[in-house]
Amino acid sequence: MTAAVARATATVVLVGNPNVGKSTLFNHLTRSRQRVVNAPGTTVSLAHGNWNTPAHLVTLVDLPGTYSLAARSPDEQVAADAVTAGDHDLALVVLDATALSRSLYLLAQVAVADQPVVVALTMVDLARARGLTPDVAALEAALGVPVIPVHGRSGEGAAALAAAIDAALACPSRVRGIDPHEHSECLNDPLTCAEHLFEWVHNVVDAAQPLAPPLPTPADRLDRVLLTSWAGIPIFLAVVWGVFQLTTVVATPLMDGVANLVTGPIARALSGALEAIHTPHWLISLMSDGVLAGVGTVLSFVPLMAIMFAAVGVLEGSGYLARVAVVADRAMRALGLDGRAMLPLIVGFGCNVPALAATAVLPHARQRLLTGLLVPLTTCTARLAIYLMIAHAFFGSRAGTVVFAMYVLSILLVVVWGLIARGPVMRGERPGPLVIALPDYQPPHLRTLGHAVWSRVMSFVTKAGSVILIAVVVLWVAQAVPVRGDHALTDVPVADSVYGAVALATAPVLKPMGVDDWRISAALISGVAAKEVVIGALAQSYALDGDDEASLGEQLRATVHDTSGGHGTTAAVALMVFCLSYLPCLATLAEQRRLFGWRWTALAASAQLFGAYALAVAVFQVGRLL
Amino acid sequence: MLLSALHPGASARVRSVSAESDAVLRLREMGLHNGVTIRLDLIATGGACIVTVGAARLAIDRATAALIDLDLP
């Protein structure tokens, strides 16, 4: 018989530089007992996890990686606030054995904040490979707090760390050699403070690490290839191409498979079950064409999001992403972003939703926001189908050139909107000098990767998914409810539905673009749900109200010829320009809301809509004069 | 001698950094402070300097590298 032992609760914050193995350690200690929350009043994610040590039920909080408590970004501010607020029992500071002086500086700042500390020492194997193995006993003696070497991937050292945490919670110890009361200058003179703290750092490093030039490692040789122009840029483009392929060629059949499963067998089974219990027809339609269709839309994105999150995790965890920041830095700096922003922007040309997920590669919240607002301007493959249909209908053999021009315009819009938006978004936060640590290359750690993918996908399903579901049901209601004629609910021709009435009412707004026709406005409204349905919506409208003998392209050409007063090709270009950027699809809007909140999402969508309208009107009005 | 003028493979000691105080502070936080010995490993595409400081490697853009004054051994 075993006696239950009552364990005390405690909160421990995990503090460390970026890329020191902090999150790997967090995942190992907390396993699946985690939840991701936003830091209060911010969009910065914090992972909370439960860790059972022999004597305590520990709530472990994985703070954003930072080099300093003198914060320069919202992420760093969250870490600094959490440490200095002191709402925890202990700070578990992770020191990187390959960058001891940099890690010790952060530890010194935690000590100035008068926090009880336990140290976890990571990357000891990598330091050993460089001939710079730290002397753990000497380090512990110099610091005066427990120092536990750990290996986040294998879990080696976890038991000793748990014991040290229990001991430190029972009898907290402060870092030796730093008296918080003697460092009052840290509040108003950070440079002088840094001088003093680095004196302490030098003394500790001198005592704990051999003074020798580091030995070369395979990472050095790999960097000679990956960071130089003859190979670095082609390899970077090949990696981005690979991610692009994953989100299109690999993900598309999976997405179709899920969508077909939901709208096919599952929808039939649901309808059959509801009919069997004599459910009214409208309710069956609501459940299968509204709610289930919404659930299907959300679920169909799951494979795509999982693939994207996994790709981002591999690039991040392997150390390659830091090299991307170097290779693409010069190109992205003009927009106020760092080189890593290149990845989400290129992925956006495949699909905007995983591209928004890929903004996680950026280290600062404002950079993620600016990039996330620019992503919808990258023209996704769903929009390509619209360009192809219109370009073939109006430009024949020159269709390829016209479609290419749309991609060039998309890139120009990213640049122009980036230059316009960087002021209000970055709020004077200039891209600082490129000074980044290049972590050693490591193979991805599957368990950590799995945790990250799972928690991010669940966050997408629960937060973005609910918005998508509601929007799809609203669209169903608009199409199911008649505004004229003697139609039964759910059995309404498009033109007589609320949806058709809205399309008819909004069509005149499109007159300055030369395309004021209700079938076009209806298709554009459908395109907000998903760009893939624009052509289907046009075909549906022409099937009800068009020439059965003519193809869709021919019918559209005839319509636009009439609405534009004979300037059909100019109006077609205006329509394509409008389709490029008028509004992102629902899934993109929902993901933007999840990441950045309603305010930024609404502001960006409004700006895009008005910008697209102004541009399309200008194209038509100027074009018809030429 | 400035870091931007150092030859790849050469080592030197940091004498001073003549940047704004915030940039100086960030460089110090990254381990690049007066008196520390660094080695320039390579010049990356775009001009960034890849340096080794202790056992760690840093990438520093060209403009910032031109603000770091070094003493050759």
B contacts of A438 (beta carbons < 8 Å): 50, 57-59
Q: Can you list the pairs that B51-54 forms with residues at least 24 positions away whose Cβ atoms lie under 8 Å?
A: B51/B3, B52/A214, B53/A101, B54/A98, B54/A99, B54/A100, B54/A101, B54/A132, B54/A205, B54/A209, B54/A214
Beta strand pairing status for A147-149 and A435-437?
A: unpaired
Q: In the prediction, which pLDDT does A544 show? A: 63
The dihedrals phi and psi of A401, each to the nearest 5 degrees, come to -65, -40
Residue B64 has pLDDT above 70, yes or no: yes
The winner for highest mean pLDDT among A294-298, A498-502, B18-22 is: A498-502
Residues A560 and A543: their CA atoms lie apart, in Å, by 17
Using a CB–CB cutoff of 8 Å, tell me whether B55 touches chain A.
yes
Residue A274 sits at φ, ψ, to 5 deg, of -70, -35
A607 burial type by CB count under 10 A (0-12 exposed, 13-18 middle, 19+ buried): middle
Query: Tokens representing A423?
Result: 């002021």
Strand arrangement, sheet containing B11-17:
A435-437, B56-60, B49-53, B37-43, B11-17, B68-71
Q: Who's near A540: CB < 8 A, 6+ residues apart?
A: A494
> Residue A1: which pLDDT band, with cuts at 50, 70 and 90?
very low
pLDDT confidence bin for A2, thresholds 50/70/90: very low
Distance CA A582, CA A577 (A): 8
Tell which residue, A517, A546, A522, has the closest CA to residue A535: A522
Residue A43 has what pLDDT? Answer: 56
pLDDT of residue A3: 45
* Residues B50, A223: C-beta atoms closer than 8 Å: yes
| Nearest chain A Cα distance for residue B46, angstroms | 6
Q: Are A495 and A600 in contact (CB under 8 A)?
A: no
Q: Is B55's CB within 8 Å of A329's CB?
A: no
Tokens of B45: 């595409």
CA distances from A27 to A10, A24, A61, A97, A318 (A): 18, 5, 11, 20, 17
Mean pLDDT is lowest, of A460-469, A515-524, A569-578, for A460-469
* Whether A64 contacts A80, CB under 8 Å: no
Closest CA to A577 of A375, A350, A377, A356: A377
- pLDDT, mean of residues B9-35: 85
Q: Mind listing the pLDDT tens digit for each residue in A136-166?
A: 999 999 999 999 999 977 889 999 999 999 9
* pLDDT grade for B51, boundaries at 50, 70 and 90: very high
Residue A8: CB partners within 8 Å, gap ≥ 6?
Answer: A55, A56, A57, A169
Q: Between chains, do B29 and A438 touch, taking CB under 8 Å as contact?
A: no
pLDDT score, position A209: 81
Q: What is the pLDDT of residues A415-451, one digit of tens each?
A: 999 999 888 888 766 666 788 888 888 888 787 788 8
A53 within 8 A of A165, measured Cβ to Cβ: yes
The band of B39, judged by pLDDT with boundaries at 50, 70 and 90, is: very high
Per CB-CB distance under 8 Å, the chain A contacts of B42 are: 223-224, 227-228
Residue A403 has pLDDT above 60, yes or no: yes
Q: Sign of the C-alpha dihedral, residues A120, A125, A131, A136?
A: positive
Provide the CB-side half-sphere exposure for A83 (13 A, CA): 32
Cβ contacts of A205 on chain B, cutoff 8 Å: 54
pLDDT at A190 over 80: no
A88 has a pLDDT exceeding 70? yes
- Report, as an integer, the average pLDDT of B18-27: 79
Q: How confident is the model over A18-24, as a mean pLDDT?
A: 85
Q: Is the CB of B40 inside 8 Å of chain A's CB atoms?
A: no
The tokens for A185 are: 């200058």
Strand, coil or helix: A324: helix
Is pLDDT at A302 greater than 90 in this prediction?
no
Task: Say yes or no for a CB contact (<8 Å) between B26 and A329.
Answer: no
Beta bridge partners of A255: none
pLDDT at A390 (0 to 100): 92
Q: From CA A79, how far away is CA A100, in angstroms rounded?
A: 20
Assess contact for A297 and A530: CB atoms under 8 A. yes
Nearest-Cα distance to chain A for B41, in Å, is 8
Closest-CA distance of chain B to residue A549, Å: 58
* Cα–Cα distance, A41 to A164 (Å, whole number): 34
**Sequence letter at residue A410:** S
- A8-16 β-sheet, strand order: A34-38, A45-52, A56-62, A8-16, A90-96, A117-122, A147-149
Instruction: Find which of B4, B29, B32, B49 to mutate to test the A interface (most A CBs within 10 Å of its CB).
Output: B29
How far apart are alpha carbons A504 and A478 in whole angstroms?
13
CA dist list (Å): B16 to A213, A429, B27, B33, B70: 21, 26, 11, 8, 7
Closest chain A residue to the Cα of B52, Cα to Cα: A214
Residues 6 or more apart in contact with residue A403 via CB below 8 angstroms: A384, A387, A388, A391
CA distance B68 to chain A (A): 12
Q: How far apart are CA A472 and CA A470, in angstroms?
A: 6
Would you call A99 and B19 a contact, using CB atoms and an 8 Å cutoff?
no
Q: Is the pLDDT of residue A73 over 80?
A: no
Mean pLDDT check: name the lowest of A421-430, A483-492, A518-527: A421-430
Cβ distance A457 to A36 under 8 Å? Answer: no
CA A341 to chain centre: 11
Strand A147-149 with A117-122, pairing? parallel
Strand partners, B60: A435, B49
536-595 of A, contacting B, C-beta below 8 A: none
pLDDT of residue A121: 96
Q: Residues with Cβ < 8 Å from A315, sequence gap 6 or more?
A: A239, A243, A321, A324, A343, A361
Interface membership of B73 toward A (CB under 8 Å): no
Token couple for A299: 């679920």
CA distance B67 to A338: 20
For B47, residues 6+ apart whose C-beta sits below 8 A from its C-beta are: A330, B61, B62
To probe the interface with A, which of B50, B57, B60 has the most A CB atoms within 10 Å?
B57
Strands (E), A424-580: 435-437
Work out the widest C-alpha separation in chain A, in whole angstroms. 92
A327 touches chain B (CB under 8 A): yes
Question: Is B54's Cβ below 8 Å from some Cβ in A?
Answer: yes
Going by pLDDT thresholds of 50, 70 and 90, the confidence category of residue A41 is: low
A102 touches chain B (CB under 8 A): yes
Tell me which H or E stretch contains A361.
Answer: none
Q: pLDDT tens digits for A111-137?
A: 988 889 999 999 998 888 888 889 999
Could you tell me the two tokens for A150? 């750990």
Question: Are residues A624 and A570 in contact, defined by beta-carbon separation less than 8 angstroms?
Answer: yes
